[in-house]
Amino acid sequence: MLQTKTLEFLKALVQNNNREWFQENRKKYDEAKSDLEKLVGQLIKEVSKFQDLGNLQVKDCIFRINRDVRFSKNKAPYKSNLSAGIGPGGRSSGKIDYYLHIQPNGQSFLGGGMWAPSPEQLAKYRQEVDYNADELKTIIHEQGFREFFPVIHGEVLKTTPKGYAKDHPEIELLKRKELFFVHPFSDKDVTAKDFANNIVKGIKLLKPYCDYMNYILNHTEEQD
């Protein structure tokens, strides 16, 4: 669980997203960050029971709250959320991991999947779907998975991808440029005692999908 004051800090930050206010309230931010670190530490411990995370440390998972505003019209210096990427190698591994997003007013969620793939990775995904989509469909259509992650998120082509027929039996999967799954959490969920357990439940459901996607997106012939 997270403390209510962590969400309260984020709510206040939205209304005061400037460096002067942030520095004046630095102690509150440090407390909120520490609160998230404790939760992530607990998650690493639990996930390590069914997945090898290597020597993953909490610091490897937490994303910075500072925004990169160099190429953005929005010059607000800070994100309005706290977040972490949990998986072998942490947030910067380049692999698909379990993404935890903490944001007040019911905008928190656990997510995972193919998001902003490179052209090469997207081609690998489509090649696999074209060759044999049964394994992927078995994973994402499993009842428990669908109940926890009922909606596929991400960009979808309006037209048929080049090189594939309009009447391809898997055309809807082939049109997808992203295949990301999200389970939302209310503010009440986030501050409940069983919050960590619910996240771990979601991670267990996501694991077969993430394992599958990491294999097809990152596997090379040299590894055979």
- State pLDDT tens for residues 92-123: 999 999 999 999 999 999 999 999 999 999 99
- 191: exposed, middle or buried (Cβ count in 10 Å: 0-12, 13-18, 19+): middle
Q: SS3 for 116?
A: coil
pLDDT at residue 220, rounded to an integer: 55
Q: Residue 17 above 90 pLDDT?
A: yes
Coil, strand or helix at 59: helix
Nearest one of 218, 3, 4 to 114, comparing CA atoms: 218
Model confidence pLDDT, tens digit, residues 128-158: 999 999 999 999 999 999 999 999 999 999 9
User: Residue 221 has what pLDDT?
Assistant: 47
- The domains found in the chain, sorted by start residue, are 4-223 (3.30.930)
Task: Count the helix, strand and coil residues of the chain and give each as a percent rounded to the nearest 5.
Answer: 50, 15, 40
Q: In 34-54, which positions are buried (b, 16+ CB within 10 angstroms) versus exposed (e)?
A: ebbbebbebbbebbeeebebe
Instruction: Give the largest CA-CA distance in the chain.
Output: 60
